[in-house]
Structure formats: structure tokens, C-alpha cells
A = this chain, B = another copy of it.
């Protein structure tokens, strides 16, 4: 069986290329080379071509890539040909921030439900959504065909919320903090741990102070 063997970093870069190309497209650029993309986003031209090569041949030798076509291909690869309904569980500050974040909608991620179990928050309006009780999750997930859930609740509630989402049919979760969520194998989970990010910063700050002679610039 042939198997998908693409570095996850490649997917992240495809997303970056895609945004950069959309920008160029808006400015009327019609054709671009791997070298120009590379320069625009800060990677090597070989990297750009390799990343694309995992998925097909999208360019013309001697000419480069048609910007509009390449955007279309990238969107197809990334699954961005249609909008994705998303639910956010947790209507605290983080949940509210996520609902208000324009970047999601700009890329086709539509938040179609916000949930909480705090009676003080239920009924509140966030953007154009009403905060619903957690019990309504299955209903909303089914109604909109939601496959992605964002969990923005206190650490001790994360697993419980994950269980509810998975049971409702959600197939991918974005979580925060340091909780290792247990999910069935078909569910894809990615976690963002802000504290680890800060600890990486402190490591570098501390290390270059204590070992200036062995310091190596770590940026990107």
C-alpha cells in the first residue's frame, strides 16, 4: 500500500504559500517562479518545488507557476475548496477571542456554535452567536456537519468536552494547555501549549547568558 509520507511542516508551508499567492493575485500578479515564492515567504526555492512535488506537477518548465491555478491547487490540497464549520467550546476570554478572530473567517473557518456550561455565560452574545449550553453540542454539530472542534475550557474539563465532541461526530480537535487528550484513533488532535513556547524563549535567553561562547542564533 502506498502511504502518505509528507512532512507536517510541508503542510504548514503550503498554507503559507497559499496566503502569499492570494496576496499577489490581488495585486494582479499572474505568473511566479519557485524562487520568487521562496523569497517572498523565506524558504529555499528547492523547498517550494519539493513541497509542491508531493502532490503533483503544477508549473511549466521555463515559465513558472500560474498564480490563480496554483492557488486553486493549494486550496484543493489543503481542503479549502469549501468553508469549514467549526465549534468552539468554552466562552471565557479565550473562547471569545477565538470567536472574534477575523483570521479564521478569512480562511473559510466559520464558527457556527459557542458553548459553555456556565449559566452566567449561556445566552450571552459573542459576535453574532448566542452562547449555548454544552448539551446543545450534538445538535449543532449534526445540523452544520461540523468536523472540527476547538476546546477552550479549563484544563480539568478538556477530556470531558473532547468526549462529547467526539461522540457528536467531530473528527478533529484543537486544544490548548498541557492536557494529553485521549481520543479514538480516527480523531486528529493538535495541541497548542503556550507555556512551552515561553519556556523555549527562556531557554534561549538563559543559555546565551550562561554560555555566550556556544550561543547559536536560533531564529527560524
Q: Which A positions have Cβ atoms within 8 angstroms of B? A: 1-5, 8, 11-12, 14-16, 19, 42, 77-80, 84, 86, 92-94, 96-98, 100-101, 103-104, 106-107, 109, 147-148, 155, 171-172, 174, 177-178, 180, 185, 188-190, 192, 194-207, 211, 213-219
Most chain-B Cβ atoms within 10 A of its Cβ — which of A98, A198, A213? A198
Question: How many angstroms from the CA of A171 to the CA of B215 in the assembled complex?
Answer: 15
Q: Are A42 and B180 in contact (CB under 8 A)?
A: yes
Most chain-B Cβ atoms within 10 A of its Cβ — which of A98, A107, A200, A217? A200
Q: Are B172 and A201 in contact (CB under 8 A)?
A: yes
Of the A-B pairs whose beta carbons lie under 8 Å apart in the complex, a sample of 8, sorted by A's number, is: A5-B216, A8-B200, A11-B203, A16-B196, A78-B202, A93-B96, A109-B195, A148-B205
Give the Cβ gap from A215 to chain B, nearest Cβ, in Å: 6
Question: How many angstroms from the CA of A200 to the CA of B202 in the assembled complex?
Answer: 28
List 17 extra interface pairs beyond A78-B199, A172-B204, CB under 8 A. A1-B214, A8-B200, A11-B200, A12-B196, A12-B199, A14-B203, A15-B195, A79-B205, A80-B202, A84-B202, A103-B155, A103-B178, A107-B199, A109-B195, A148-B205, A188-B204, A190-B200
Q: Are A79 and B219 in contact (CB under 8 A)?
A: no
Question: How many angstroms from the CA of A127 to the CA of B149 in the assembled complex?
Answer: 28
Q: Which residue of B lies closest to A177 (CB)?
A: B103
The answer to whether A207 and B42 touch (CB under 8 A), given A93-B100, A195-B107, A219-B189, is no
Chain B hits for A214, CB < 8 A: 1-4
Question: How many angstroms from the CA of A15 to the CA of B174 in the assembled complex?
Answer: 21
Chain B hits for A86, CB < 8 A: 198
Q: Are A15 and B190 in contact (CB under 8 A)?
A: no
Q: Which residue of B lies closest to A187 (CB)?
A: B219
Question: How many angstroms from the CA of A98 to the CA of B219 in the assembled complex?
Answer: 24
Chain B hits for A155, CB < 8 A: 103
Chain B hits for A171, CB < 8 A: 205
